[in-house]
Chain A
Amino acid sequence: MINDRLQQIERIFHAVLSLGIDERRDYLESACGQDEDLRHEVEGLVSAYETSGSLLEDSPITLAFKVMGTKTREPMAGAQIGQYKILRHLGHGGMGDVYLAEDHRLNRKVALKFLSSEFIANSWARGQLVKEAQAVAMLDHPNICAVHGFEEIGEHHFMVMQYVEGETLAALLRSKALDLELAVDLAEQIACALAAAHERGIVHRDIKPQNIIVNRQGQVKILDFGLARLVPRREVAHGTADWDATKPDGPIVGTVAYMSPEQARGLKLDCRTDVFSFGVVLHEMLGRKNPFLRETQKDTVEAIQTTPPARLPSSLPIELQRIGQKCLEKSPELRYETGADLLAALHRFRKDRERTVLMGWRRYLQYYAAATVILFLVVAGLAAYSYRQLTRVHTLAILPIQNVSGDRDKDYLTAGLTRSLFERLTHLPRLQVKLPTVVPALDAEQAVKAGRDLKAEAVLSGEVVKVGDKLLLRLRLFKTTSSSAAWQEDFDLEGNGVLELQDAAARRVADSLDMWLIGGEKRTLTRRQTDNQDAMNAYMRGRYYWSLKRNRENIQIAIKFFDEAISLDPSYAAAYAGRADCYALTTNVLYGPIKTSEAIQKATYDARKAIEIDPLLAEAHTSMGMIHLRYDWDWQEAEKEFKLALELNPNYAPAHFWYSNLLVVTRRFDEALREAAAGKSQDPYSHVSAVNYARVLYYARRFDEAAESLQQVLSQDQNNVQAMHILGLVKVQQSDYAGAIVTFDRLHSIDPLQSAAALGYSYAKAGRRTDALNMIQELDEVAKQKPVPPLEKALIYIGLGDRDKAFEYLEQAYSERFANLAYLTTDPIYADLRADPRFAVLTRRVGLTF
């Protein structure tokens, strides 16, 4: 109810307004009488009314409409939707609003992209969106903002995405000029994401700086993969304003100035549209300007279709200009075909550039030194010093970090820290890193000696120690010219995350080597394979068990840890590579409870995945090469992968190891010995690399040298089963059957499974037929519990001269694609079969045609 007083005021107010100015005073006097308050009240209101000007004049409904057109229905902060608690509004996407939320079930922050009602109402669009979200969800890639899924909870429809903290490339470009190194680095990461998506047939369609986020570590994350075609475009190019939901390829999407010519025409799109848009972004990163942006949309669209873009500044490297130009070709046929081609071009460019930067300095300093020698000898001396510092290649040996904390559970950590320091430092172009897996001991003197043995100029040694309650990583750097530490530092292992610790340690090591790092190199040092500490930890544990004594249990534990790392970070390439290595091992009779075919399938999947995520990861290419070598019997592909791995990381020992094996299989023994020797010099104290070298000698039929090397290993490690096994085989070739039997017998007492076939074979060769047949029986017994590769029995039959049986089992091995068949023409053990016509057929089928 309105009170009487107000009614009174209102009545007088309206009356006053209806009067002329002159009449108002008299009227007020009579109407209000002695009530001064009343009169004052009315006068105030009338005056306020007359001076109210534009108040309430223009309805803000249009404004409200605009706001609605860009915002979701209601402010959602604080709302709880299913397992998600909305924290705050992040921004507007083409489809609706994006909110930061906490996922209570998985205890992580996520970005939720809500669909505007327009989308919810359009069931076609909704269906497409769900499909698209599923496709993108398959894209686990460190440079792609992960899509976790699509949810419909109550009236809410939203996509659940990874939450990425960082700045858009657009903001970055506004705030500062990018130096060349940074621009190329970002470009490479964008191309890497495109390569992975294109591989799966997903085209982004809307690559632009607003969709590219750069996080604090300088890592690129691309948003909204594949969603562009579902978003009605706000911008209107030549009048095709309305979004036609029935024609998915019809609407012209993408922010106009980044569209490809075919996109501007509304034609069908493929990967090459992304290549074009990438070209525009690259142009903007390098030339600071969008080459097509004009005053109006119409002019912009026309420029995209007809005007050749202004060239990139001629101060930029020619090759980079060429790459930029090729992306922006009007005709898609003339561009890079996919992201992978683009990535390859950029990677080549960067590698070449790292070399030329070095040469440039060299030339500059040579000139500088020459000029100054005449004028100022002192300056020349300084210049020459800097010249050396800048261009010299340093050799660093990283010794295995020791765990002296007394806590055995930290063993994995020391192994992981060693490996991660290696991974970070090994990519510096002017640093050669050696990573021996074994060193004798670790006092200062021995560290320096190890450094000299490794022909390194500096040695990094480290320990995990417990000081009070604190767990510390103590790193020491020695120059091999002196036994006092050049640098020593303690890092708190518990205060910081292990990732930060690795960043810091790698940086400090590079600093203490007096390496003047250029921008790109510094970033290399802190480039992370994952941002997830727990994933990193699981990965380190996986690699630790993988590197321990190879047995079934350790391999299974390693697989479990890699599983965990992958589930925590599905874009963790190195973890896939690690798991691939494990699965490949499980085909071995010693390690595998699963069938060869299944193991190969799993290993292949993981290796592919690792390469897809990070095409520049040497581990991944090594794993893939190993699979090609052992199971696909595709020597050419295997060689390609190994060479690529070694180009990417010449210090990665397993690549040398497996490459030497490929060279054996393809009967290039000299090269094989060179590779095996390279592996040995990387890791001079390791028995694994020594045994591998001896094994290559055995295949090269240099039996005496092989025996000598193996005896040496056994003199230090008398129970080394691998060394014993090969020594036995060598003895067979030397016709020392008795010696072979003694060796295999001893091996049999340690490891019956690995030696059964070889022992049976030796018995057979020595004429002890019954003993040989007993070994077959023993294998049959084992086979009741777990699969025994058919090659084992074939070996004994070869020894017995029973070719029919031998070929029967060889055939079986072939049908299982058993790895060791690759050695049919190189392993002397098969020599007895050569005369049989079936042998030629089999070797041809395996592809051994050299």
Chain B
Amino acid sequence: MPSHGDITALLVDWGNGDQSALEKLLPLVERELHRLAHSYMRRENPDHTLQTTALINETYLRLVDQRKVEWQNRAHFFGIAAQIMRRILLNYARDQNRQKRGGKAIHVSLSQAVVMPAEKDRELIALNDALNRLEAIDPRKSRVVELRYFGGLSVEEAAEVLSVSPITVMRDWQFAKAWLARELQDD
């Protein structure tokens, strides 16, 4: 188990421009998120986006030594979380989609598994593809969508992560939404 210090140090390194720190940070944050998600699944009514975001924040506060990091690091942390969430959801959507098309029956109980609403899985896969195309022409807009949509971040939080003004985030968001909507219509 990584100590708080590890994650703090890595966040600081990453903030100072060390890209390899991100590589090390990702699995650590992911593990923590998993832990959090597991306990979250046991709560009475795990259905609010707001509550989820608050939980991630809680995790951040718990994981990171506040005296040692810049305030921007919190945003970075959230950025990492958003990336992880996106990948998790996408893999899950693909798995579920594959199974619907007649994959092998699973012998272990799936009673505790989450079932995505019908169509949601295909929608997610398509959205992800479109987002990848957007990234090719405008990486920041793609990031804005990732942070706000997959990471549940507010406009201000996303602005912090990307070091831009909130208005830029809003404009990026609007345009990305239009662009993605058109891409998905075409599909």
Contact = CB atoms under 8 A, between A and B. Distances in A.
A371 interface: no
Query: Which of B107, B149, B180: most chain A Cβ within 10 A?
Result: B107
Given A48-B182, A60-B89, A166-B107, A70 B114 contact: yes
Contacts of B43: 241
B68 interface: no
Contacts of A166: 107
Contacts of A46: 178
Among B85, B108, B174, chain A packs the most CB atoms within 10 A around the CB of: B108
A48 B182 CA distance: 5
A118 B152 contact: no
Contacts of A236: 42, 44
18 contacts: A6-B138, A48-B185, A56-B180, A67-B114, A70-B41, A70-B112, A73-B30, A75-B91, A90-B106, A91-B113, A92-B110, A92-B112, A92-B113, A121-B35, A167-B107, A223-B108, A232-B42, A241-B44
B137 A3 contact: yes
A90 B104 CA distance: 9
Contacts of B52: 61-62, 65
A10 B179 CA distance: 10
Interface in B48-67: 48-49, 51-53, 55
A59 B157 CA distance: 15
Interface of B: 1, 27, 30-44, 46-49, 51-53, 55, 85-89, 91-92, 95, 104, 106-114, 116, 120, 124, 137-138, 145, 148-152, 171, 174-175, 177-182, 184-185
A64 B150 contact: yes
B149 A60 contact: yes
A interface bracket (residues with beta carbon within 8 Å of B): 35 or more
Nearest to A242: B42
Contact of B85 (A61, A73, A94, A164): A61
B48 A62 contact: yes
Given A61-B52, A65-B36, 10 more contacts: A13-B174, A45-B175, A45-B179, A56-B148, A59-B151, A62-B52, A64-B89, A73-B31, A90-B107, A241-B43
Nearest to A51: B181
Contacts of B91: 74-75
B145 A14 contact: no
Tell which of A56, A120, A233 has the most Cβ of chain B within 10 Å.
Answer: A56
Contacts of A69: 34, 37-38, 40-41, 46, 114
Interface in A695-735: none
A535 to B, nearest CB: 24
Contacts of A93: 108
Given A55-B184, A61-B53, A90-B107, A234 B112 contact: yes
B110 A91 contact: yes
Nearest to B109: A210
A155 B27 contact: yes
Interface string A103-146: 00000000000001110110000000000000000000000000
A233 B39 CA distance: 10
Contacts of B177: 49, 52, 55-56
Interface string A1-23: 01100100010011001000000
Nearest to B85: A64
Contacts of A59: 49, 148-152
Contacts of B34: 68-69, 72-73, 116-118
A60 B52 CA distance: 10
Judged by DSSP, the binding face of B is helix
A519 interface: no
Contacts of B33: 68
A55 B179 contact: no
Interface string A168-179: 101000000000
A65 B46 contact: yes
Nearest to A55: B181
A70 B113 CA distance: 6
A236 B110 CA distance: 19
B152 A2 contact: no
A198 B182 CA distance: 64
B109 to A, nearest CB: 4
A13 to B, nearest CB: 6
| Minimum-distance CB pairs A-B, first 5 | A91-B108, A69-B41, A49-B178, A68-B37, A52-B181
Contacts of A836: none
B48 A73 contact: no
B149 A90 contact: no
A58 interface: yes
A69 B104 CA distance: 23
Contacts of B88: 64, 67-68, 71
Contacts of B181: 48-49, 51-52, 55
A91 B152 contact: no
Contacts of B107: 90-91, 164-168, 213
Contacts of A213: 107
Interface string A225-245: 000000011101000011100
B106 A91 contact: yes
Contact of B89 (A2, A67, A90, A121): A67
B180 A55 contact: yes
A268 interface: no
A89 interface: yes
B174 A17 contact: yes
A464 interface: no
Contacts of A243: 42
A45 B182 contact: yes
Interface in A147-185: 155, 164-168, 170
Contacts of B114: 63, 66-67, 69-70
A73 B26 CA distance: 11
Residue among A61, A67, A164, A170 with max Cβ neighbours from chain B (10 Å): A61
A61 B37 CA distance: 11
Of A44, A94, A236, the most chain B CB neighbours within 10 A belong to A44
A299 B106 CA distance: 31
A45 B178 contact: yes
A526 to B, nearest CB: 21
A105 to B, nearest CB: 24
A13 B178 contact: yes
Interface string A591-633: 0000000000000000000000000000000000000000000
Contact of B47 (A62, A64, A67, A165): A62
A252 interface: no
Contact of A66 (B1, B41, B148): B41
B49 A58 contact: yes
A94 B111 CA distance: 10
B106 to A, nearest CB: 5
A288 to B, nearest CB: 19
Contact of A6 (B1, B37, B137, B150): B137
A289 B28 CA distance: 45
A634 B124 CA distance: 73
A168 B109 CA distance: 8
Nearest to A52: B181
A73 B37 CA distance: 11
Nearest to A7: B138
A646 interface: no
A575 interface: no
Interface centre among B38, B111, B145, by most A CB within 10 Å?
B38
Given A66-B41, A118-B38, A60 B150 contact: yes
A49 B182 CA distance: 8
Given A45-B179, A48-B182, A241-B43, A210 B111 contact: yes
Contacts of B30: 73-74
Nearest to B176: A56
A56 B149 contact: yes
Contacts of A165: 107
A79 to B, nearest CB: 13
Most chain B beta carbons < 10 A, residue from A6, A70, A241: A70
B45 to A, nearest CB: 11
A233 B185 CA distance: 44
A98 interface: yes
